[in-house]
Amino acid sequence: MSNILDGVKSAEIGISKEVKNLSDMVKDTTLSLVDRIESYEDIMSLEIGDTSLNRARNLERELNIRQLYIKYEGENPSGTQKDRIAFAQVHDAFRRDYNTIALATCGNYGVAVAYAAFLAGIKCKIFIPETYHTDRIKEMENFDAEIIRLPGSYEDTVTESSKMALNMDWYDANPGGANTSLQIAAYAEIANEIYDQLRDAPKYIAAPVSNGTLLAGVYRGFVSLYKRGKTSRIPKFVAGSAAYKNPIITSFKAGLENCIDIDPKLVKETSINEPLINWHSFDGNEALYALQQSGGEAHHISDKKMKEMSTFLHKKEGYRILPASTSGLIALLQIHEKNEMINDRYVAILTGKY
């Protein structure tokens, strides 16, 4: 059995008194649906997003780069950016009167959906590959989620859980398909938050990629801002992922127009790379499009470099960053090392704490 953490270490998510009171209102069937939905949206406003964007001045001095900003998604309740899409999916399920939500996960997304569903009073079914062990199962169960083990890979588990959701009339919160536009819109808010602080688009945005939804969403957010005349440009997007174990990076480097799967036998997970690897990226085409249209780049990043950067960030900037989360930042710095970046603004999205 693989001993995979898939993200942050288990840590109980604290529920404030205000959120608890709002959750009670969401679950109160004597109230109108409009009032209940409004209460859930109030929870979303309190809990999700508005994560910090800070200059990494110590890194700037060490690495001879100027105006490097860190967008730290580890401040979301579950410690990752997954809360953004989890709450968006549960909000949609609640609005459409589903009483059960289902998804496949190896860890982080499951905790985020379990928490969001718990606050909405919706049952949560979480499917996990039987060969995976995640320390976050206890957190899911603490929010009354039911854990269901299935044979096969993560991709196989997504397919099977989606079939079961359709047959049982559960809300399917898996990536790809009908959920792509909803999840991309949720991640587009990151672009709006960056704009709110910088008042324009940075020259580069760097992010780790797995399924590609995050990168695609932030790209769409900046395209919208540019088309509305809010920014003077669309950033160049930089993707980093586990070396030779992600279809988006491989397809980009091969100059392909569509994201193609890689051989599952070549994908070997470790405690470092697991949040990034897959043989099929569910939103790979959208991420590949973002990289190509923005004139961006994609880089293979080794486990060793990710682990070293995580330690470096903790020492220099005080961030406790999941190593896999640093792959985008490393890719950006590799561009700088090859061709020194002029004085502009650069943003790296760090997606998980440890």
Alpha-carbon gap, residue 344 to 348, rounded angstroms? 13
Could you read off the pLDDT of 201-216 as tens digits, one per residue? 999 999 999 999 999 9
> Token match 């929870």: residue?
43
* pLDDT given at position 133: 72
The separation between CA 53 and the C-alpha centre of its own chain, rounded to angstroms, equals: 16
Could you read off the pLDDT of 324-337 as tens digits, one per residue? 999 999 999 999 99
Q: What is the mean pLDDT of residues 116-131?
A: 95
| pTM to 2 decimal places | 0.93
158 close to 30: Cβ distance less than 8 angstroms: no
Alpha-carbon gap, residue 209 to 228, rounded angstroms? 27
Q: What is the mean pLDDT of residues 69-95?
A: 96
Alpha-carbon gap, residue 325 to 272, rounded angstroms? 10
Q: Delineate the domains of the chain, giving CATH numbers in brackets.
A: 11-45+81-177 (3.40.50.1100), 48-79+179-350 (3.40.50.1100)
Alpha-carbon gap, residue 154 to 220, rounded angstroms? 27
Percent of the residues in the chain that have a pLDDT greater than 90, as a whole number? 83
* pLDDT given at position 154: 85
DSSP, res 102 = E
CA distances from 152 to 128, 155, 267 (A): 10, 8, 13
Alpha-carbon gap, residue 224 to 181, rounded angstroms? 14
Residue 10 pLDDT > 50: no
Per DSSP, the residues of 300-319 read: EE-HHHHHHHHHHHHHHH--
* pLDDT given at position 5: 41
Give the residue with greater pLDDT, 154 vs 71.
71
